[in-house]
Structure 1
Amino acid sequence: MPLSEHEQRLLDQMERALYAEDPKFASALEGTGLRTYTRRRVYLAAAGFVLGVGLLMGGMIAQPQFIWLSVVGFLVMLGCAVLAVAGWRRHPVAGPGSGLGAAQPVRRKAGVMDRMEQRWQRRRDEQDGF
């Protein structure tokens, strides 16, 4: 859920105050910690997927005795694929000005739930006005 304009202004004020008080600490927080963590998670999930393919193939080669190995390999592949896709979708946009001072919400297509939420919020705002 994106921040309201008021909340965004408050966040910007807090960021400016943090920079004014302790620029060294603010620049340390500005690092790419979240981006690096997300990227590492996606890479590990990709490596796990390859491992799952290996387990699946190993189970298929040793057919009768180790069929459970193929099932485990498939489950590892499935889990790693889900982790990689989820991590990739949440991957922060890297670009010029990305960091602590440039916290801009990422625009995405408005889905059905977003439109319903906007309508609900509009109705609540109209009720508060009466």
Structure 2
Amino acid sequence: MPLSEHEQRLLDQMERALYAEDPKFATALEGTGLRTYTRRRVYLAAAGFAVGVALLMGGMIIQPQQIWLSVIGFLVMLGCALLAVAGWRKHPVVGPGTNLRAAPPARRKASVMDRMEQRWQRRRDEHDGL
């Protein structure tokens, strides 16, 4: 569920404040460890997928009674493929001027209530800025 515009602005403001107060800590939270972990997880999933292929083929070649080996190989392949796809998704890059959302959500045409809420929010922002 994407954040509302107000929540996104608050989050951006908190990020800027964190970078202003403690840039070293904020840089440590940028996610280099997360990227390394994700990359390692994708590589392990690819290796597991290869093992699943070997089990699948081995179960088919060895004996027809070893069908359970092929089923296990297929399940290993499926699990590793899901793990790799889940790990391959782009993670947000956090920086002092970046937006946490990787891509903006698809916007539908604004309804009357959405426009009223936007006007109300602009008035509140203008009032806070005074």
1:92-115 Cα offsets, whole Å, 9 max, x none, are 26xxxx4332234233784xxxx7
Q: Assess, with a 3 A threshold, how the Cα gap between structure 1 residues 65 and 34 changes in structure 2: closer, same or farther.
A: same
Structure 2 residues not aligned, in runs of 5+: 120-130
For 1:1-130, what aligned pairs fall within 5 Å after superposition? 1-88=1-88, 90-92=89-91, 98-101=93-96, 102-107=98-103, 110=106, 118=108, 122=111, 125=114
Q: Distance in 2 between matches of 1:91 and 1:37?
A: 13
For 1:65-110, what per-residue CA distance to the aligned partner results, in whole angstroms no more than 9, with x for missing partners? 422111100111111112222222x2226xxxx4332234233784
2:90–2:102 Cα contact (<8 Å) kept: no
Rate the CA distance shift 1:31–1:23 in 2: closer, same or farther, 3 A: same
Overall identity of the aligned pairs, in %: 72
Greater shift in the superposed pair: 45-54 or 21-30: 21-30
Moved over 6 A (4+): 126-129
RMSD between aligned residues: 2.8
Residue 63 of structure 1: how far off its partner (Å): 1.4
How many residue pairs get aligned? The number is: 117
TM-score of the two chains, using structure 1 as the length reference: 0.70
In structure 2, C-alpha distance between the alignment counterparts of 1:105 and 1:83, rounded to whole Å? 22
